[in-house]
Amino acid sequence: MAAIRVAMPVAWFSTFALIVRAASRWIAHHFATIDIVSGLIFAVLGLVMAVEGIIELFS
């Protein structure tokens, strides 16, 4: 029973570490694309908020 209680977290954290390692490699490889996409998303959200504010101001 004690071996199971030790093996389960070790297996979980090892798997999680491998997944994070793979994700970090992917992110490091595609950082420019991620920056561009997130910048566009924030620009669109800012534009939507500005338009809604102007509409609210004049209505």
Q: Is 14:6 a contact under the CB 8 Å cutoff?
A: no
Query: Long-range contacts: 16-21, Cβ < 8 Å, 24+?
Result: none
Is the pTM above the cut of 0.85?
no
What's residue 14's pLDDT? Answer: 97
Distance of alpha carbon 58 from alpha carbon 40, whole angstroms: 27
Residue 18 phi, psi (nearest 5): -65, -40
pLDDT digits (tens, 9 = 90+) for 29-58: 999 999 999 999 999 999 999 999 999 999
The domain ranges of the chain are 2-58
Q: At what angle do helices 2-29 and 31-58 cross, to 10 degrees?
A: 80
pLDDT of residue 59: 85
pLDDT of residue 40: 98
